[in-house]
């Protein structure tokens, strides 16, 4: 009896580990392709870290259940539903591929990865039960960040951030009193002409900030509204970071050294500005934690 009692809590994890190993082996060609693609991609370089972050959140989550819960019927029904969705997604992918309607490596990988993650979640529901799965919903759903962003969607996001960055930069130039003539994405300053290119969108840094804010909210905040607020400030923060980068480099070029426009600060200085925005995000997180504590007291 004692032996059975000690073994029972670990059976769901053992069963899920066996299922996950088989599922990963089944999708190994897709996953190998995904890893190779992400390691060579500037935008999706964070993808290999996603499973480890999800696993860490699952292991450290104090409220996570280690035993099955819910009826066998409910667990099987939920698992079948996840499995059906995974299968349908694969069928749609095959149809689109055969018709030549998918272009780009990220687009070709997106639906198979959706199918992989959805099937994996179905196995988790079956092994742990729906109530236990719901308790640890965020770590499980976080696995969907493994999905590469299809090229058309990534392009649209870049254009939106590019336009927004230009608007913020224009406002900042006005605040500094700099004489500037703007036409669309182009700015004419005294002795300098610049254009906000797609590369200036900062989409990679913004995505990393979104992921960081989601994880930080789960780890350090308790209230849903504070977590949502932390994530909500990321896009404006990213636009301000991009605008500040454009304006600071432009003003340094005009007033300090004309060579700065072609210096590493311009071409490889993204991490410097990212760290600054990360510091601001950390300060906002600290403020939200203090707000939670005051309301609790």
Domain ranges of the chain: 2-145, 153-296
The 10s digit of each residue's pLDDT in 117-166 is 998 998 888 888 888 888 889 999 999 999 999 989 999 999 999 999 99
- How far apart CA 161 and CA 200 sit, in angstroms, is 8
Residue 179: pLDDT band by 50, 70, 90 thresholds? confident
Structure-model confidence comparison of residues 232 and 294, the more confident one: 232
- How far apart CA 146 and CA 20 sit, in angstroms, is 16
- The conformation of residue 257, written as its DSSP 8-state character, comes to -
Residue 8 pLDDT > 60? no
Which candidate, 7, 15, 27, 8, places its Cα nearest to that of 123? 15
- What is the average pLDDT value for the chain, to the nearest integer? 84
| Helix, strand, coil shares, percent, the chain, to 5 | 80, 5, 20
Segment of 36-40, 76-80, 103-107, 180-184 carrying the highest mean pLDDT: 36-40
Residue 258: pLDDT band by 50, 70, 90 thresholds? confident
Residue 3: left (phi > 0), alpha (psi -120 to 50), or beta? Answer: alpha
Cβ proximity of 221 and 292 under 8 Å: yes
Taking each continuous run of H as one helix and of E as one strand, the counts in the chain are 14, 3
The 10s digit of each residue's pLDDT in 17-43 is 998 999 999 899 999 999 999 999 888
For the ranges 86-95, 153-162, 213-222, which has the lowest average pLDDT? 86-95
- How far apart CA 204 and CA 294 sit, in angstroms, is 35
Residue 48: pLDDT band by 50, 70, 90 thresholds? very high
By three-state DSSP, how is residue 192 classified? strand
pLDDT of the residue at 209: 94
pLDDT of the residue at 98: 66
């Amino acid at each position: 009896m004692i032996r059975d009692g000690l073994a029972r809590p670990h059976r769901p994890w053992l069963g899920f580990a066996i299922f996950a190993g088989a599922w990963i082996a089944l999708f190994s060609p897709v996953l190998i392709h995904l890893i190779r693609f992400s390691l060579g991609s500037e935008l999706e370089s964070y993808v290999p870290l996603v499973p480890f972050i999800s696993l860490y959140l699952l292991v450290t989550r104090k409220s996570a259940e280690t035993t099955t819960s819910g009826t066998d019927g409910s667990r099987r029904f939920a698992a079948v539903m996840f499995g059906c969705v995974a299968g349908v997604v694969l069928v749609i992918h095959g149809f689109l591929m055969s018709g030549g309607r998918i272009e780009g490596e990220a687009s070709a990988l997106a639906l198979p990865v959706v199918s992989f993650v959805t099937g994996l979640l179905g196995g988790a529901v079956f092994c742990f039960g729906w109530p236990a799965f719901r308790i640890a919903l965020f770590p499980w759903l976080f696995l969907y960040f493994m999905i590469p962003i299809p090229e058309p969607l990534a392009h649209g996001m870049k254009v939106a951030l590019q336009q927004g960055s230009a608007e913020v930069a224009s406002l900042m130039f006005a605040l500094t009193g700099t004489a500037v003539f703007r036409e669309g994405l182009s700015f004419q300053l005294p002795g300098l002409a610049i254009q906000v290119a797609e590369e200036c969108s900062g989409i990679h840094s913004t995505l990393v900030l979104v992921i960081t804010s989601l994880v930080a909210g789960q780890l350090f905040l308790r209230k849903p509204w504070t977590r949502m607020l932390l994530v909500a400030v990321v896009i404006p923060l990213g636009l301000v970071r991009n605008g500040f980068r454009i304006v600071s480099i432009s003003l340094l070029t005009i007033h300090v050294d004309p060579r700065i426009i072609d210096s590493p600060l311009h071409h490889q200085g993204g991490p410097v500005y990212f760290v600054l925005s990360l510091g601001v995000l950390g300060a906002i997180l600290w403020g939200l934690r203090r707000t939670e504590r005051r309301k609790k007291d």
